[in-house]
Amino acid sequence: MTILSVRQAIREAMREELLRDDKVFLIGESLGPYGGSFKLTEGLLAEFGPEKIMDTPLSESAIVGCSVGAAMMGFRPIAELMFADFVTIGMDQLVNNAAKMIYLHDGALPLPLVLRMPEGGGATMGPHHSQCVESWILNIPGLKIVLPSNAHDAKGLLKSAVRDDNPVVFIEHKLLYNEKGEVPEGEYTVPIGKAKVVREGKDISIISYSYMVKKSLEAADILAKEGIDAEVVDVRTLRPLDVETLAESVRKTEKAVIVHEAPVTGGAGGEIAAVLQEAAFDYLDAPIGRVGALETPVPYSYTLEQAYLPNTQKIVDKVKQLVTR
């Protein structure tokens, strides 16, 4: 094992896939000499050249559209958007082309496209650069959605995404880029569609993904000191959703709180709560709780943004509310 940041793990995954498969290439804004807006592609241009590390104009519709066309021709593009918020500009190509191409060709035409994009608040980047966008995409069949919470999963899931013949939306939280963790030195992948219990517990299940897994684990540590044994489950992929692992946890603990950074209304937590109600209703001993951001655009002010975001204490308070019913 070696210690890598999430940023290093993602860069290593892309480098290894570029070396492994000559059909893989990177495409996006400022990926070359600048090394990407968050420095995830730093050094790759010097190693692989401009035919593999392609800089584009500032046009998300062009980035996604070119990637769809390249994937149709047998390439495996890894496209990067500077911020996840800008996926709206490429939504027509993503939703009406990428998501439907395999279906329209009766499975005969693979579409191996990975769309990487950083999301999330906490860095005072304001309402246009801080949103969590996964629920915008969750309603679209044909797109896989991956949200890693640590360096090990970031590398393994990205390698799986590159090798998948379906379009994969790979969402990275900006505040995770500097988080470090153990990563195997050899070749490995993490399967798409498999959740993971990252902390065992018996009193309540805290179900989360991406940066909120870190906050959920912090909450579980605080709760343990107060005699509440919380289990933490990392969803890892929203589509496909590993319903069985989530339901198995809830059948054991009989209570659940779902935590994500996006606002609660229309968020992925509502879908998770619905499938848990279908899969584990007879085991539930309390309503399923949800923790998310406030119902406003993301504030620019640090103080207001911190009040807007879900945090460790909000998770603790929701768990206590359910456990003490």
What is the distance, to the nearest Å, from the Cα of residue 275 to the centroid of all Cα atoms in its chain?
19
Query: β-pairing, 196-199 with 230-234?
Result: antiparallel
CA distance 41 to 82: 12
Phi first, then psi, for residue 271 (nearest 5°) are -65, -45
For the question of residue 129 being annotated catalytic, the response is yes
Give Cβ neighbours of residue 324 (< 8 Å, ≥ 6 apart): none
**End-to-end alpha carbon distance in the chain:** 43
Distances from the Cα of 188 to the Cαs of 19, 49, 147, 154, 156, in angstroms?
15, 26, 18, 11, 6
> Which of 291, 308, 294, 264 is closest to 124 using CA atoms?
308
Name the token pair of 4.
């890598």
Distances from the Cα of 165 to the Cαs of 27, 67, 75, 143, 267, in angstroms?
18, 13, 10, 11, 27
Distances from the Cα of 49 to the Cαs of 54, 58, 128, in angstroms?
9, 20, 32
Phi first, then psi, for residue 134 (nearest 5°) are -60, -35
CA distance 61 to 63: 6
CA distance 187 to 73: 27
For the question of residue 42 being annotated catalytic, the response is no
Catalytic residue (one of 129, 152, 173, 260): 129
Catalytic residue (one of 17, 29, 60, 134): 60
Active site residues: 60, 129
